[in-house]
């Protein structure tokens, strides 16, 4: 993650040059974001991310070589420390679920306002989840269906609830550990159990399911992980 006084370093990947140019312009205008490299396909994106080690990768879903979902899976399999924001025109449920299961930190539509995309990059850089309101509504509606609720959940322990609620506020594992006086490794263990109990494949999906089930308040306070 970028230091407070340093710009957020971003790699931008989209197969349309004019789209990259537009996104780059509003990301870098009046914000603390610097696009350090651009990729026109998924394979190039992976190479540039490995070479530049950015804070955030902004990826389209459909690209030649590798899709944004495949790139996300690859980076997560390598445990590469980069925030991943999917910026796409697709709002279909299969895409949404595949992106979250792959381990992306955010999902924003290209129809979003410029300031919303900038805020999403900043949120992902801070370790928070960033979901387009349209995407959040679809995901919550999907999870609220009777068949999804019935897959329901083994009750969380008090400690697991504390961890989930802090994760929902955007706290990193380290900050959660500091708040609860436990180690990062213990936090990771609690999160693994939370994912299993909530049938979630990622932090974002676990938080959204927690909101749906009433375990987490939908109005989240700003975190202060310091």
* % pLDDT > 70, the chain: 86
Distance, CA of 172 to CA of 76 (rounded, Å) = 17
Indicate the range of 113-122, 137-146, 153-162 predicted with least confidence: 137-146
What pLDDT is stored for residue 90 in this prediction?
84
User: What mean pLDDT, rounded, does the chain reach?
Assistant: 84
Per-residue pLDDT tens digits for 76-134:
988 899 999 999 888 877 778 788 888 899 899 988 889 999 999 999 998 888 888 77
What pLDDT is stored for residue 209 in this prediction?
78
For the beta carbon of residue 160, count every other beta carbon within 10 angstroms.
18
What pLDDT is stored for residue 2 in this prediction?
52
Residue with the bigger pLDDT between 208 and 57: it is 57
Distance, CA of 195 to CA of 82 (rounded, Å) = 21
Distance, CA of 67 to CA of 73 (rounded, Å) = 10
What pLDDT is stored for residue 49 in this prediction?
96
Q: Which helix (H) or strand (E) holds 51?
A: helix 42-52
What pLDDT is stored for residue 144 in this prediction?
54
Strand 56-59 to strand 83-88: parallel, antiparallel, or no bridges (unpaired)?
parallel
Of 147, 57, 64, the closest CA to residue 99 belongs to: 57
Read off the DSSP letter of residue 211: H
Domain 144-212 has CATH 1.20.1050.10: no
Domain 8-134 has CATH 1.10.599.10: no
Q: Name the pLDDT band for 224 (thresholds 50, 70, 90).
A: very low
What pLDDT is stored for residue 150 in this prediction?
42
What pLDDT is stored for residue 95 in this prediction?
79
* % pLDDT > 90, the chain: 42
Which residues in 30-67 are b (16+ Cβ under 10 Å) and which e? Answer: ebebbbbbbbbbbbbbbebbeeeebbbbbbbbebeebb
- Show me where the domains of the chain are located: 8-134, 144-212
Q: Is the model's pLDDT at 225 over the cut of 50?
A: no
Indicate the range of 193-197, 207-211, 218-222 predicted with least confidence: 218-222
* Average pLDDT score over residue span 35-50: 95
Angle between helix axes 173-180 and 158-168 (nearest 10 degrees) is 130
């Amino acid at each position: 993650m970028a230091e407070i006084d340093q710009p957020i370093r971003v790699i931008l990947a989209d197969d349309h040059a004019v789209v990259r140019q537009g996104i780059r312009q509003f990301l870098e205008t009046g914000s603390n974001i610097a696009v350090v490299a651009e990729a026109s396909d998924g394979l190039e994106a992976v190479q540039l991310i490995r070479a530049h080690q950015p804070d955030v990768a902004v990826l389209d879903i459909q690209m030649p070589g590798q899709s944004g979902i495949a790139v996300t899976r690859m980076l997560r399999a390598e445990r590469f420390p980069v925030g991943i924001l999917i910026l796409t025109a697709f709002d279909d449920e299969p895409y949404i679920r595949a992106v979250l299961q792959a381990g992306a930190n955010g999902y924003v539509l290209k129809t979003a306002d410029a300031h919303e995309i900038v805020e999403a990059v900043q949120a992902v850089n801070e370790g928070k989840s960033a979901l387009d309101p349209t995407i959040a509504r679809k995901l919550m509606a999907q999870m609220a269906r009777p068949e999804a609720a019935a897959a329901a959940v083994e009750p969380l322990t008090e400690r697991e609830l504390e961890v989930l609620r802090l994760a929902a506020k955007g706290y990193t594992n380290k900050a959660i550990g500091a708040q609860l006086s436990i180690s990062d490794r213990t936090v990771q263990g609690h999160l693994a159990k939370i994912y299993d109990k909530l049938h979630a494949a990622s932090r974002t999906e676990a938080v959204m399911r927690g909101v749906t089930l009433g375990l987490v308040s939908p109005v989240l306070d700003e975190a202060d992980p310091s």
